[in-house]
Amino acid sequence: MTMVSLGDLARSLMLQRHTTSANTRLTRLTQEVASGRHADQAAAARGDLGPLAAIEGALARLDGWQVAAAGLSTRLDTMQTALGALNGIGDSLSTLLVAAGTASQADQVDLAGGEAADYLSAAIGVLNARAGDQSVFAGTRTDRPALTTADELLDALLPALAGATTAAGVEAAVQAWFDDPSGFASQAYSGGPAQSAIAVGPGQSLAPGVTATDPALKSLLAGLATAALLDRGILADAPLERRELAARAGAGLMANATDRTMLAARIGIGQGQLAEAQARNAAEETALGLARSGLVAADPYTTATELEATRSQLETLYTLTARLAGLSLIEVLR
């Protein structure tokens, strides 16, 4: 029988190769135990990465929708908060104006006019609200305030009142200026058109389509501006007409309350739809996350068992290498 033996160099190279292989396997298994995932996904999937790629793509789309939905949610919440503040302004001033319109003292009308100027400035401040770095009621021009200042608005409005000598005439002229595209929309509104719909889920889009030019908001501003004109001395020579103008402005603000309520309800419906879309996206993200874990996760028991076996093998190789390195002819001949 022929005996085949390995030379010292061949034996050394063989041990070195086995040791390197065991070290590489030990590193891989240690990484898998720590991360809970296969270090080589392609090998674990036997080269079929299609299902994993599909899941990763779906998760990326969901993440994009959730980011867009979060931004839109903040915007709608800010709008709803602003409407609450505007309701307070409209309700408070309407009561004051109606009372001034029935008062016998002229100074009550003057007082109501001063209050109206302050409320107009406050309302414009509310409509210039920002969510993050975006102007909420400015449509597509989110980098700028939606409206000019109250003084600038009234300055632009006054020329349209030339010739108005009655409360009805002033009210009609104010309304015409606010309705005229060359009036409020171009001289006081500095925003852009309403933003288009934003995708927030598969097949679902929502639009934050409310700007400061919305009819309900424009009507509120018209009422506030009408009353604020009293502070600018409108109809100064006609005390009875000034009282009538205060009463008309107060009645207009009271009537506008319904429109503001409807606008708040419309925004609320959008908030509800958005919350449902976010919940569906979150549920789908959870399901896809579980599916992805099933594809990429390494079995902890199997991995730990292989890790222990590799560690023992490596220790054996180190021991064998040390013993072979200590061999000598003298020791063998003894």
Q: What is the pLDDT of residues 256-277, one digit of tens each?
A: 999 999 999 999 999 999 999 9
* CATH number attached to the domain at 52-289: 1.20.1330.10
Which of these ranges, 51-60, 226-235, 266-275, 321-330, has the smallest mean pLDDT? 321-330
Higher pLDDT, 176 or 31: 176
Q: What is the pLDDT of residues 195-250, one digit of tens each?
A: 999 999 988 999 888 999 999 999 999 999 999 999 999 999 999 999 999 999 99
Predicted confidence at residue 1, as pLDDT, reads 46
Q: Which of 8-17, 244-253, 289-298 comes out lowest in average pLDDT? A: 8-17
Which pLDDT value is given to residue 132? 83
The type of residue at 64 is G
Kindly report the pTM of this predicted structure: 0.76
pLDDT at 209: 80
Query: Looking at residue 133, what is its pLDDT?
Result: 86
Query: What's the pLDDT score for residue 208?
Result: 83
pLDDT at 96 over 90: yes
Return the CA Rg of the chain: 38
- What pLDDT, on the 0 to 100 scale, is given for residue 107? 86
Q: What contacts 24+ positions apart, CB below 8 Å, involve 54-60?
A: 55/288, 55/291, 55/292, 55/295, 56/292, 58/284, 58/288, 59/285, 59/288, 59/289, 59/292
Q: Please compute the mean of the pLDDT values over residues 265-290 and round it to a whole number.
A: 92
Q: What is the pLDDT of residues 11-29, one digit of tens each?
A: 556 656 656 665 666 566 5
Are 83 and 264 in contact by the 8 Å Cβ rule? The answer is yes
Domain residue spans of the chain = 52-289
Asked whether residue 81 carries a pLDDT value surpassing 50, the answer given is: yes
> What average pLDDT is seen over the chain?
84
Q: Is 134 left (phi over 0), alpha (psi -120 to 50) or beta?
A: beta
